[in-house]
Chain A
Amino acid sequence: MTVEKIFKEKEIREIQEIHRHFPVKSAACIEALKVIQKHHRWVSDEAVRELAEILEMSPEAIDSVATYYSLIFRRPVGRHVILICDSVSCWIMGYEKIVDYLKNKLAIGYGETTPEDRFTLLSIPCLGTCDRAPAMIIDEDLHQDLTTEKLDKILEKYE
């Protein structure tokens, strides 16, 4: 995979535009990683190296940032990423039942992906919707007030 193909001129310029008033090019690297992830779902070693060339940084400098942030995926993820909140209010309200159900139904654990790359299951800290716990995000959709009964229907929406 070459990043060149998805990093169209337009996108590179867009990234630089956001940071045009920043004194250093390297300030754009998180934005750039997001662009890669938007098109490829995850950031590979190869992508890190190609991005390094574009931003005139070393691959180490890029990866130092990429591996720090939990929502930059440095391993492949499925078409739909399930991020289930495992923080304290969701824990009090029984998120563990939700996660066990998902693990059983999808036959995967945390960090794993279903065959045919449909779902990846990950945990995420407090989603900020504690009055409607338990909660999870799939792709960019927030699902609140979860019960095990609701889960099948929710998952169906994601091909």
Chain B
Amino acid sequence: MSLEIIMAKVFIDNKAYEVDGSKNVLETCLSLGLNLPYFCWHPALRSVGACRQCAILKYKDEGDKKGRLTIACLESVTDNMRISIEAPEAHQFRAGNIEALMTNHPHDCPVCDEGGECHLQDMTLMTGHNYRRYSFKKRTHTNQYLGPFINHEMNRCIQCYRCVRFYKDYAGGKDLDVFASHDDVYFGRHQEGVLENEFSGNLVEVCPTGVFTDKTLKKHFTRKWDLTDAPSICHQCALGCNIIVSERYGSIRRILSRFNGDVNGYFLCDRGRFGYEYINSGKRIQTPSKKQNGTFLPISRDKAVQEIREITRGDKKLMGIGSPKASLESNFLLRQLVGAANFYAGIPAAEGRLIQQVIAILKDGKIKTPSLNAVKEYDAVFILGEDVTNTAPMLALALRQAAKNKPGESARAMKIPDWNDAAVREIVQESTGPFYVATAHATKLDEIATQTYRTHPDNIALLGFAVAFKINNQLPEVKGDEQTEMLATTIAEAMLTAKKPLIIAGTSLYSEAILQSAANLALALKDMGKDTGLVYVVPEANSIGLSLIADQFLDRAFEKAEHGAAETVVILENDLYQRMDKNSTDVFFQDHKNVIVLDYLHNSTTQKATLILPVGTFAEADGTIINNEGRAQRFYQVHIPANEISSSWKWLQRILADNSDLPAKHLDEIIDSLIEVFPELQAIRSIAPSADFREGTQKIPREPHRYSGRTAMHADRNVSESKPPGDPDSAMSFTMEGYAGLPPSAITPFYWSPGWNSVQAINKYQIEVGGPLHGGNPGKRLFEPLENSKDDYFKSIPSPFSPKNGECLVLPLYHIFGSEELSAQSPGIKERVPEPYICLNNTDALNAGITEGNILEIFFNGEKHQLPVRLNAGLPNGVAGLPKGLQGTAGIQFPLWITLDRVNNG
């Protein structure tokens, strides 16, 4: 909520500063670049004043020479205040505070995963405490198994309470808490077990010591200073959270959150953080290969490129299938290779049309689609159809904060500053602002909802249209039954009285009606003068990007292939068996003589290939993808693999090049070509510095200056240290030499500042703590509201859903762990992927004589499948659910109708 900034003059150690008068002293000092230690404060979690580490001296006036010790994070900035960080008494107190924390700390840095990026280490050094006077026993704890992602080592705990504040207060988690009291307090679960919250991984960054650490990193542990890092974008959903990818010895070690004040802020979801291990899989395709006599035999790069050139040059019948997982550059070059008319977006038409609809609404319409972080500022929310926790998890996290906005006004009215976290929460208690969730089944966000409405997608759309009608009675009249009418009136009132109403919808339920009703509702609110936001969730990392450069989909490709349209198909990073039903896909491959596949992991599609090229995942590729708000963002590779793996566009560029001897085109040139063909995408050029950018004469190093072992690393192969590889595609290098200062925000590979080795170093990269990065938050939005848009309301209103007797309409159910194809193959995530099941509501099951655990036979993908039954009271009558994207449910075209025939008794 934007408040007028009141400026204030403060004197810190007798130096005057003009600062924002609404902040507390700690964040003010940090924003000024002053080193004031802290533990329990966090820019997103705000102040509670527990650890006492940020103590300073405050003076009554100029004449007061003695001062009084006070805690900076709870101290409001006031005009003309005089404080001191450097006064000896303040120094001594802070050093003493560390000494007290150290009395129980095991000092096991050499064996602690946090060492080298540990906030406790940094703060200890900052205060100067270095001598242990404590000579008694330390308290110890037993540790708990917390699941495949998080390691627990309680002896290191300094009781800052950040973990439970993040887990419970911020992320809404229920199964982590603090137990016991005095110096025996314990942070853990009631019983050992997997942490349930989807954002548990943030504990590894929020915990200032090594209590909660990344268990996947532990399996291939590397010190921070030994990691090569790169700024990247998570590819596991459409939100485009910024990440840091870290590598050593050719394997990806871990993913860290990369701060983007407009997108993900400080956090990530567990799928994004822990879903990377498929990159290290032994099943990676590492060399080009050709199918000969039914088996794949490796061939050299040059040979592969040569063969493909021959197959695709001249007057050949080609088809190119692009991918919503692949970068714009890769998709574009494929389009160049096969020709625009032969380039298809590798998604079913049902999905593709919806994405096109989303683009049309956001690109050409009046409504603003807020960035992910800006979602937190809205004070009334209406979700149509999306199970956000599973389809766009970080959006769910942002919405949980938005839900606290309206109740937070009571605290503001009492002049309690926003940063006084505990005081605000005391006023707010459990209340949430207006939050309406209309979905096809129970979702996790129901727990903060004012009201939920569970029904079929068409009825969800009808509700949306009904609310729009209540707001703008010029629209076609839509009236539902009594219950719907009451709900529509309530929602309309809530949206109209809100300061900033927000509508959330998406493509998950394959309903165009839902997308249109959301747009109508947003437009109606905008026409009433409300500052309205509209967020659409789309399926994948580059769904938007792909649909901006392709206008035909897989159905058309399959249709054309049947009529002999092509001899050769080139498939980019896409397992078609995940997209279309098995039989049609089999036929599609049979229709082609040459199947050229560019992919990272073997799958059902690669089995059908005649030629396979090994391509890089986001960790081994550079490129641009566009997220659901239309933000174009750049991701960079963290290393050059020792084998033939490289970005898809590099392969395609080699194939397109006339002569292998000519210098290869680099990323910037590819982008130039892309923009020539698609001038509306020209913003992409400026989302990151070009490859020839230098700080002075220096590139930006991907490795911290302490990176070790470079001379010895390859000594088992060659004693001479080889020249580090160059990087013609970015302004970064694969070395530790280079510019030591703050890099441009889009090419910041890691966070480090003198004395700040942990993730808290992010403070130094921001203009003010918690605020935008120096140089601006990375990424550029392509969709901004057009005030004089010609777009009008949608006129087509669906009919209410009628259940069919004896049959159920099956809708997709999304799982954060499982519905995304690649992360589901990572070991830790795999543990949490459910076995396929069919979900029914209680009444339908009862009527068909089915109980939980029974096996149901269902026909899809041209085959019979036997699946165990789960019951979910949240499903409406006549509707069933199948988990989307699991290996066992690949290729299902939703929605589909099934009959309920029980096979055997559980």
Q: Is the CB of A24 within 8 A of B178?
A: no
Q: Is the CB of A45 within 8 A of B191?
A: yes
User: In the complex, A45→B179 CA distance in Å?
Assistant: 13
| Cβ-defined partner of A48 (8 Å) among B175, B178, B180, B190 | B190
B174 within 8 A of A: yes
Q: Is the CB of B176 within 8 A of A60?
A: yes
A49 within 8 A of B: yes
| Cβ-defined partner of B181 (8 Å) among A49, A60, A61, A68 | A68
Q: B820 → chain A, closest Cβ, in Å?
A: 27
A112 within 8 A of B: no
B815 within 8 A of A: no
Task: Give residues of chain B (236-281) contacting chain A, Cβ–Cβ below 8 Å.
Answer: none
Chain B positions 169 through 198: 1 when the CB is less than 8 Å from some CB of chain A, otherwise 0: 000001111111100000001110000000
A2 within 8 A of B: no
A58 within 8 A of B: yes
Decide yes or no: A63 and B181 within 8 Å by CB, A23-B429, A58-B174 being known contacts.
no
A59 within 8 A of B: yes
Contacts of A24 in B (CB 8 A): 429-430
Decide yes or no: A60 and B174 within 8 Å by CB, A45-B191, A48-B190, A68-B180 being known contacts.
yes
User: In the complex, A143→B317 CA distance in Å?
Assistant: 100
Q: Is the CB of B190 within 8 A of A59?
A: yes
Q: Is the CB of B179 within 8 A of A64?
A: yes
User: In the complex, A24→B175 CA distance in Å?
Assistant: 19
Q: B876 → chain A, closest Cβ, in Å?
A: 24
User: In the complex, A92→B176 CA distance in Å?
Assistant: 43
Q: Is the CB of B175 within 8 A of A64?
A: no
Contacts of B181 in A (CB 8 A): 67-68
Contacts of B177 in A (CB 8 A): 58, 60-61, 63-64
User: In the complex, A67→B431 CA distance in Å?
Assistant: 26
User: In the complex, A99→B189 CA distance in Å?
Assistant: 36
Decide yes or no: A60 and B180 within 8 Å by CB, A23-B429, A45-B191, A49-B190 being known contacts.
no
User: In the complex, A58→B188 CA distance in Å?
Assistant: 13
A23, A62, A67, A68 pick with most chain B CB within 10 angstroms = A67
Q: Is the CB of B179 within 8 A of A67?
A: yes
Q: Is the CB of B430 within 8 A of A60?
A: no
Q: B736 → chain A, closest Cβ, in Å?
A: 44
User: In the complex, A48→B191 CA distance in Å?
Assistant: 11
Give the interface SS of chain A, mostly helix, strand, loop or mixed: helix
Q: A46 → chain B, closest Cβ, in Å?
A: 11
Contacts of B176 in A (CB 8 A): 60
Q: Is the CB of A63 within 8 A of B430?
A: no
Q: B18 → chain A, closest Cβ, in Å?
A: 42
Q: B174 → chain A, closest Cβ, in Å?
A: 4
Q: Is the CB of A64 within 8 A of B178?
A: yes
Contacts of B431 in A (CB 8 A): 23
User: In the complex, A57→B190 CA distance in Å?
Assistant: 12
Chain A positions 8 through 51: 1 when the CB is less than 8 Å from some CB of chain B, otherwise 0: 00000000000000011000000000000000000001001100
Q: A102 → chain B, closest Cβ, in Å?
A: 25
User: In the complex, A57→B175 CA distance in Å?
Assistant: 10
Contacts of A57 in B (CB 8 A): 174
User: In the complex, A48→B431 CA distance in Å?
Assistant: 25
A23, A48, A57, A68 pick with most chain B CB within 10 angstroms = A68
A45, A48, A60, A63 pick with most chain B CB within 10 angstroms = A60
User: In the complex, A24→B431 CA distance in Å?
Assistant: 10
Contacts of B430 in A (CB 8 A): 23-24
Contacts of B179 in A (CB 8 A): 63-64, 67-68
Nearest neighbor of A57 in chain B, beta-carbon distance: B174
Q: Is the CB of A45 within 8 A of B190?
A: yes
Q: A145 → chain B, closest Cβ, in Å?
A: 31
Nearest neighbor of B431 in chain A, beta-carbon distance: A23
Nearest neighbor of A23 in chain B, beta-carbon distance: B429
Task: Give residues of chain A (49-84) contacting chain B, Cβ–Cβ below 8 Å.
Answer: 49, 57-64, 67-68
Contacts of B189 in A (CB 8 A): 60
Q: Is the CB of A60 within 8 A of B429?
A: no
User: In the complex, A24→B180 CA distance in Å?
Assistant: 23
Contacts of A48 in B (CB 8 A): 190
Nearest neighbor of B164 in chain A, beta-carbon distance: A64
Chain B positions 384 through 407: 1 when the CB is less than 8 Å from some CB of chain A, otherwise 0: 000000000000000000000000
Contacts of B429 in A (CB 8 A): 23-24
User: In the complex, A57→B447 CA distance in Å?
Assistant: 12
Contacts of A23 in B (CB 8 A): 429-431
Q: B194 → chain A, closest Cβ, in Å?
A: 14
Q: A70 → chain B, closest Cβ, in Å?
A: 8
Nearest neighbor of A61 in chain B, beta-carbon distance: B177
Chain B positions 425 through 451: 1 when the CB is less than 8 Å from some CB of chain A, otherwise 0: 000011100000000000000000000
Nearest neighbor of A22 in chain B, beta-carbon distance: B429
Contacts of A64 in B (CB 8 A): 177-179
User: In the complex, A61→B181 CA distance in Å?
Assistant: 14
Q: A151 → chain B, closest Cβ, in Å?
A: 30
Task: Give residues of chain B (184-218) contacting chain A, Cβ–Cβ below 8 Å.
Answer: 189-191
Nearest neighbor of A64 in chain B, beta-carbon distance: B177
User: In the complex, A59→B192 CA distance in Å?
Assistant: 12
Nearest neighbor of B178 in chain A, beta-carbon distance: A64
User: In the complex, A97→B24 CA distance in Å?
Assistant: 54
- 17 A-B pairs whose Cβ atoms sit less than 8 Å apart in the complex: A24-B429, A45-B190, A48-B190, A57-B174, A58-B175, A58-B177, A59-B175, A59-B191, A60-B189, A60-B190, A61-B177, A62-B190, A63-B179, A64-B179, A67-B179, A68-B179, A68-B180
Q: A23-B430, A67-B180 are in contact. List 12 more A-B contacts (CB 8 A).
A: A23-B429, A23-B431, A24-B429, A24-B430, A45-B190, A48-B190, A58-B175, A59-B175, A60-B174, A60-B177, A63-B177, A67-B181
Closest 6 interchain pairs by CB?
Answer: A58-B174, A60-B177, A59-B190, A64-B177, A67-B179, A60-B190
